Amino acid sequence: MSVVDGTASHGCGIPSESEKMQIRKIEKRVWHLVLLAILVILYLTLSLIFIQFFDFIEGSRAKIFTGNAFKFSIFLSTLVLLFCAYMIIYHRRLVQLTRDLVTQKESRLKLSNDLKTLGALFDVSFSINSQHRLGDILSTITNEMLSCFDADHSSIMLLDKRTRTLKTMVSTGKQAESAEDALVPLGTSIAGQVVKSGEPLLLQGQVNPAEFPGFQKKEKTISSALCVPLKIGKSSMGVLNVNLLDGRRTFSDSDLQLISIFANNAAVAINNSLLLKEKVKRLQIQTVAERLHSPAIIREMVKQSNGNAKHRQVREKLKVSILFADIRGFSSMVNTTDLEEVTDFLDNFYSEMDAAVSKNGGNTDKFIGDEVMAFFGAPNILDNSAESCANTAKEMITSFNRLKTRFSQKSSFFNNLGIGIGINIGDVFVGQVGSSKRFDYTVIGQSVNLARRLCESADPGQTLTTAETVHMLNGIVASSFMATMTFKGIAETTEVYRID
């Protein structure tokens, strides 16, 4: 800024060294002319005095003197003509020097103004790069354009890539309301062509509509306009417009160059704000999604999707452990207990069950009424998914009994509730299931159906499982054989065990 400030001081009346030299040269030539004029005048005056003097004294020699006076007059006339020619030549040189001096001064003033404008633009760039909200950045840019270029109106239009349409995001200055919310298809009108071509435009006076198809004439003619693309790399994300309306001034090519330099910084700031806004939006969506699924499942769903519809159908066949937990006596409670108490109990029930699942490395698949479904071993691999599943069942029963005791203080009917659990290990398909617009990450297979049938058969406070699950537990958790049972939808009989 010191360079800018130093240059600006020259514009306040302090001449530069080159100007001082020009001024000294002009002053020197002027003195030469003055001295020469004085000498010629003195010479002519003395000559006239000399002629008069000899005219009185030597009357007798009048004829001879008259001839000499004639010759002398010719000499004086020639001398005067040469002096006039000399004066004309020097006058032309003085005029040229004056013109050069004025031109240099105008150039220096223009350079000084450009440097001040460039300094102001850098200050604006720093200001917008320290801001994050898109609205604040756009407003700062348009307001500062009015100040930096002493303009009447400024606006910013951003491109909607889906509709390929430019929309006015902010309009500042005179007649700002006429440009608000304006829509321009890409490639049409002035702004649309600038964004499409990626080249800045300097417009002076009337615009020929034939050069810009779709151009709509404004109520008040724009005398001069700067229209520059906001570019990230080679692609344009929008356009910055700066206009003069009074007709007394016009923009120059240097103004176009300056605003083009600034537009690059402005585009970066706007793009960063849009990226931040998109990131915040994604985080919000992720936060909501993680309430529906565990973080591990969310990561796996994103990994499998990867923006490709085909990947959403990818499923793996894995051996996992499945758990179903169901509240006994819930339907009767709904018919006799206040609905607010029921929903409050369910909220706490879901929280406790989900905490037990997460603690043991599992994933809560879904809540179905008063039922909870979870699975262990995918997408995060566990050393022994059956053990994690059995430990979860234990903690669920403990948490449920504690929760039931707390709510029984409000209503005795909660004492009638119980929880039955069924767990099973087996091969299932794991992956995303659903439509192209909505899908879930879940497990599918006969092992899932069997786990649910075991849950339905379990008494309150009881956990039922299969022989294969007991085998995988390998005595880590105590269990006892109950019976060989058949279940609806399961072709083979099942040896059912109770986890003690």
Does residue 289 fall inside a structural domain? no
Its pTM stands at: 0.49
pLDDT for the residue numbered 151: 85
pLDDT for the residue numbered 484: 94
Residues whose CB falls within 8 Å of the CB of residue 8, separated by 6 or more in sequence, listed in order: 112, 115, 116
CATH of the domain at 421: 3.30.70.1230
Q: Is 107 exposed, middle or buried (0-12, 13-18, 19+ CB in 10 A)?
A: exposed
335 and 213 housed in the same domain? no
Does residue 357 fall inside a structural domain? yes
pLDDT for the residue numbered 399: 96
Give pLDDT tens digits for 272-282: 878 777 777 66
117 and 212 housed in the same domain? no
Per-residue pLDDT of the chain (500 residues; tens, 9 = 90+): 333 333 333 334 445 566 566 666 666 666 666 666 667 666 666 666 666 555 555 554 555 555 565 566 666 667 666 766 766 677 677 767 777 777 766 666 666 665 565 565 566 666 666 666 888 888 888 888 888 778 888 898 998 887 888 888 888 888 777 777 788 888 888 888 888 888 999 888 777 766 777 666 665 678 888 999 988 888 888 999 988 887 778 888 888 888 887 787 788 888 887 877 777 766 765 565 555 556 666 666 566 555 444 444 557 889 999 999 999 988 888 777 888 888 899 999 999 999 999 999 999 988 888 999 999 998 888 889 999 999 999 999 999 999 999 998 888 889 889 999 999 999 999 887 877 666 777 899 999 999 999 999 999 999 999 999 999 998 888 899 999 999 998 989 999 999 98
Does residue 271 fall inside a structural domain? yes
Q: Of 73, 102, 127, which residue sits at a domain end?
A: 127
241 and 174 housed in the same domain? yes
Radius of gyration of the chain, Cα coordinates, nearest whole angstrom? 47
390 and 305 housed in the same domain? yes
Does residue 287 fall inside a structural domain? no
Nearest to 419, CA basis, from 461, 391, 383, 457:
461
Largest CA distance in the chain: 173
Q: Of 127, 149, 175, which residue sits at a domain end?
A: 127
CATH of the domain at 188: 3.30.450.40
Does residue 365 fall inside a structural domain? yes
Q: Of 127, 155, 172, which residue sits at a domain end?
A: 127
Residues whose CB falls within 8 Å of the CB of residue 367, separated by 6 or more in sequence, listed in order: 350, 373
Which DSSP string do the residues of 159-211 spell out, in sequence order?
A: EETTTTEEEEEEEEETTGGGGTT-EEETTSHHHHHHHHH---EEEESS--GGG
Report long-range pairs for 143-151 (Cβ below 8 Å, ≥24 apart): 143/172, 144/120, 145/172, 145/240, 145/242, 145/259, 146/172, 146/173, 146/242, 147/120, 148/117, 148/120, 148/121, 148/124, 149/117, 149/226, 149/242, 149/251, 149/255, 149/259, 150/249, 151/242, 151/243, 151/244
Does residue 245 fall inside a structural domain? yes
452 and 303 housed in the same domain? yes
160 and 120 housed in the same domain? no
74 and 210 housed in the same domain? no
pLDDT for the residue numbered 1: 32
122 and 145 housed in the same domain? no
99 and 192 housed in the same domain? no
Number of domains in the chain: 3
160 and 115 housed in the same domain? no
375 and 246 housed in the same domain? no
Does residue 285 fall inside a structural domain? no
Domain extent for 115: 2-127
| Token pair in block for residue 203 | 């417009």
447 and 492 housed in the same domain? yes
